Amino acid sequence: MPAPLFHTIAGLPIPRGMVWADEFGWSRVQKALEYSMTGAALIDVGVRLAGRPITLQGEVEAGWIKRGALVALQALAEANPEGEHLLVLADGRTFNVQFAPVELPIEAKPVARPELPIESYPYVATVRLIEI
């Protein structure tokens, strides 16, 4: 059985060519090192329960997304900014996510400079999510 052509967020298709750019840039384990007055190392260790970034990113050469899909994603992000959505990656992994609490959770540029882009016009995009 071939792999799906899309990831999905709340059922909206995202091209599988948009890769998870920061998949290995985060760790659940967080450590802090301080030294006591006697010079002993004090290591504080904790495990994060949520907040893992999931950034889906296209490139100029691959992972283009259609304008219509971007409009739908933008509407989803703005309709309920704190909403929980199911992300299903094309490889079958699933995550409960929300759009990242940044100024621009969705950024996109057209592949060229169309005067009047139609819904099927391709864009290079970045979609910033966090696991909750």
**Where would I find the H helices in the chain?**
67-79
Mapped onto helix, strand or coil, the DSSP state of residue 71 is: helix
Domain-located, residue 1: no
pTM here is: 0.86
Q: What tokens does 16 get? A: 């599988």
Quote the CA–CA distance of 5 and 27 in Å, as a whole number. 29
The tally of domains found in the chain comes to: 1
Domain-located, residue 93: yes
Domain-located, residue 31: yes
pLDDT at 121: 92
Can you give the pLDDT of all 132 residues of the chain as single tens digits?
666 789 999 999 999 999 999 999 999 999 999 999 999 999 999 999 899 999 999 999 989 999 999 999 999 999 987 889 999 999 999 999 999 999 999 999 999 888 888 899 999 999 999 999
- Domain span at residue 12 reads 6-131
Domain-located, residue 127: yes
pLDDT at 1: 62
Quote the CA–CA distance of 20 and 70 in Å, as a whole number. 17
> What CATH number is attached to the domain comprising 99?
2.40.30
pLDDT at 82: 84
Quote the CA–CA distance of 37 and 126 in Å, as a whole number. 46
pLDDT at 45: 94
